[in-house]
């Protein structure tokens, strides 16, 4: 059992910032939270065990539900094109390099180190078509002790020679990765996820086989959906029978039949939106990426009003920064542009809403993660914002200033499932 004392902030619901000044959080030895207290109960023999973090902030760790590990080297580069030419010009050539396991190890070390640095303790990650590189990535997460879903990417059409796999290879790779993680992974912190890149990259045969594999294994699914207008037009040509882009996944069992993440959804509406709601598919909102590739503004307020699950993602390297702080900031700012553009029809996102999306909403994909309620896994960040807190700011204002002005240097400790996570090798 561990007891931490600090200024505790979390969001049990989107509009509810729970703030406990100099409160206590009790964590059991299995990493689960016993409870959060304003005062330690008198009858408990806990007083001598308290780890006192003074005036610092203790918040849930961040969850990045959409990020491309093999695009790490391109982060902050090459953002002068829209999606389809961007993929062909910058992204596919970089991903091809991951056939070289030494290159993969070198870059993936940096990637995992950066997630640690930014306080992202759980992520949903795209690898490449390559089994060995993806296994190396999974091993780096296991060594670090951070949670992740990791996908071998399926792509067998409209992709360059040298960056394609067959349906058999992607299924075989996923089976090997699953076996490897069952053998070496401790209690499922790192898990495989079925990852068709997007409809234009995957033949009907591949989509069907991946859907069947999802059904057999119960493994979750991640992909891209309705990101860019040219992409959507292309999917209409490629899949004339699908009633919408989402239906092209749905008809193969890749749209909520097992837990599913769909990144972007900038143009999702009508039937596609209803299908997402009905099937419990998550929208992963990546506003930094959508700005950089001129993709569009996802109608997040509409999704929230409809009761659709929404999480946040960096989408590096279409997103230029791995910090979930920056993603929260973009989410608010893009929602304000959308608010202006729709003449107030879509009220903008609030600070507590984006904080909820980056913590509890994203965390829900991993189980009871992202909040400090009893029974939740203790994933947390200790924040020293003293240089930002030079006057009488309230705790709510301190959180706001940390989100807008803070960065990784302010994170003093990181916890995942109750364990303190030390800096991984880089």
Q: CB of residue 362 vs ligand GUN: minimum separation in angstroms?
A: 18
Nearest residue (CB) to ligand GUN, 265 versus 381: 265
Nearest residue (CB) to ligand GUN, 293 versus 304: 293
Q: Provide φ and ψ at 153, rounded to 5°.
A: -80, 130
Q: CB of residue 292 vs ligand GUN: minimum separation in angstroms?
A: 9
Helix/strand number for the chain, H first, E second: 15, 17
**What does the angle CA 7 – CA 9 – CA 11 come to, to the nearest 5 degrees?**
170
Q: CB of residue 319 vs Fe ion: minimum separation in angstroms?
A: 8
| Chain contacts with ligand GUN (rule: CB under 6 A) | 68, 83, 87, 91, 197-198, 224, 227, 289, 315, 318
Q: CB of residue 106 vs Fe ion: minimum separation in angstroms?
A: 22
* Residue 198 near which of Fe ion, ligand GUN, none (CB within 5-8 Å, type-dependent): ligand GUN
DSSP-H helix ranges across 200-244: 204-217, 229-238
Residue 127 in contact with residue 169, Cβ under 8 Å? no
* Residue 83 near which of ligand GUN, Fe ion, none (CB within 5-8 Å, type-dependent): ligand GUN
Tell me the per-residue interface mask from 327 to 346 with Fe ion, x by CB under 5 A, - otherwise: --------------------
Nearest residue (CB) to Fe ion, 315 versus 377: 315
Nearest residue (CB) to Fe ion, 258 versus 290: 290
- Compute the distance between CA of residue 99 and CA of residue 145 in angstroms, rounded to an integer: 26
Q: Provide φ and ψ at 94, rounded to 5°.
A: -70, -45
Q: CB of residue 66 vs ligand GUN: minimum separation in angstroms?
A: 8
Nearest residue (CB) to Fe ion, 95 versus 315: 315
- Compute the distance between CA of residue 363 and CA of residue 65 in angstroms, rounded to an integer: 9
Q: CB of residue 98 vs Fe ion: minimum separation in angstroms?
A: 16
* Residue 225 near which of ligand GUN, Fe ion, none (CB within 5-8 Å, type-dependent): none
252-290 burial, b at 16+ Cβ within 10 Å, e below that, comes to: bbbbbbbbbbbbbbbbbeeebbebbeeeebbbbbbbbbb
Size of the site for Fe ion (CB under 5 A): 1
Q: Burial, 408: exposed, middle or buried (Cβ in 10 Å; 0-12, 13-18, 19+)?
A: middle
Q: CB of residue 268 vs ligand GUN: minimum separation in angstroms?
A: 15
* C-alpha closest to that of 2 among 38, 61, 52: 52
Nearest residue (CB) to ligand GUN, 235 versus 361: 235
Nearest residue (CB) to ligand GUN, 2 versus 229: 229
* Residue 91 near which of ligand GUN, Fe ion, none (CB within 5-8 Å, type-dependent): ligand GUN
Residue 194 in contact with residue 219, Cβ under 8 Å? yes
Q: State which residue has the least CB distance to ligand GUN.
A: 318
Please give the distance of CA 54 from its chain centroid, rounded to a whole number.
30
Q: Taking CB under 5 A as the criterion, which residues in 310-329 touch Fe ion?
A: 315
Residue 66 in contact with residue 366, Cβ under 8 Å? no
* Residue 227 near which of Fe ion, ligand GUN, none (CB within 5-8 Å, type-dependent): ligand GUN
Integer angstrom CA distances of residue 377 from 33, 185, 303, 320, 413: 6, 17, 27, 30, 16
- Compute the distance between CA of residue 231 and CA of residue 226 in angstroms, rounded to an integer: 7
Q: CB of residue 126 vs Fe ion: minimum separation in angstroms?
A: 7
Residues that bind Fe ion (CB under 5 A): 315
């Amino acid at each position: 059992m561990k007891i931490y004392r600090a200024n505790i902030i979390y969001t049990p619901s989107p509009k509810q910032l729970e703030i406990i000044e100099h409160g206590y959080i009790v964590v059991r030895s299995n990493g689960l939270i016993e409870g959060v207290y304003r005062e330690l109960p008198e009858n408990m023999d806990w007083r001598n065990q308290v780890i006192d973090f003074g005036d610092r902030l203790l918040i849930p760790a961040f969850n990045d539900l959409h990020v491309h590990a093999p695009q790490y080297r391109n982060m902050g580069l090459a953002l002068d094109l829209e999606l389809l030419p961007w993929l062909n010009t910058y992204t596919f050539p970089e991903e091809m390099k991951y056939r070289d396991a030494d290159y993969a190890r070198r870059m993936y070390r940096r990637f995992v180190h950066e997630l640690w640095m930014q306080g992202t303790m759980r992520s949903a990650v795209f690898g490449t078509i390559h089994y060995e590189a993806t296994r190396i990535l999974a091993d780096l997460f296991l060594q670090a002790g951070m949670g992740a879903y990791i996908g071998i990417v399926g792509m067998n059409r409209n992709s360059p020679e040298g960056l394609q796999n067959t349906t058999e290879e992607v299924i075989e790779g996923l089976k090997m990765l699953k076996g490897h993680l069952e053998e070496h992974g401790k209690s499922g912190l790192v898990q495989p996820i079925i990852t068709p890149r997007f409809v234009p990259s995957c033949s009907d045969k591949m989509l069907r086989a991946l859907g069947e594999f999802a059904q057999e294994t119960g493994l979750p699914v991640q992909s891209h959906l309705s990101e860019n207008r040219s992409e959507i037009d292309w999917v209409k040509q490629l899949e004339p029978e699908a009633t919408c882009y989402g239906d092209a996944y749905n008809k193969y069992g890749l749209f909520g039949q097992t837990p599913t993440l769909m990144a972007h959804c900038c143009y999702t509406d009508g039937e596609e939106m209803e299908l997402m709601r009905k099937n419990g598919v998550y929208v992963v909102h990546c506003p930094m990426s959508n700005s950089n590739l001129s993709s569009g503004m996802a109608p997040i307020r509409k999704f929230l009003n409809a009761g659709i699950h929404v999480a946040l993602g960096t989408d590096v390297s279409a997103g230029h920064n791995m910090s979930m702080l920056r993603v929260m900031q973009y989410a608010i700012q893009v929602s304000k542009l959308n608010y202006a553009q729709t003449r107030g029809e879509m009220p903008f996102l609030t600070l507590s809403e984006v904080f909820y999306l980056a913590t509890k909403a994203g965390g829900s994909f991993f189980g009871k993660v992202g909040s400090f309620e009893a029974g939740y896994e203790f994933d947390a960040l200790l924040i020293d914002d003293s240089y930002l807190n030079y006057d009488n700011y309230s705790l709510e204002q301190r959180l706001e200033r940390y989100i807008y002005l803070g960065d990784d240097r302010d994170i003093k400790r990181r916890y995942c499932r109750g364990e303190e996570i030390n800096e991984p090798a880089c």
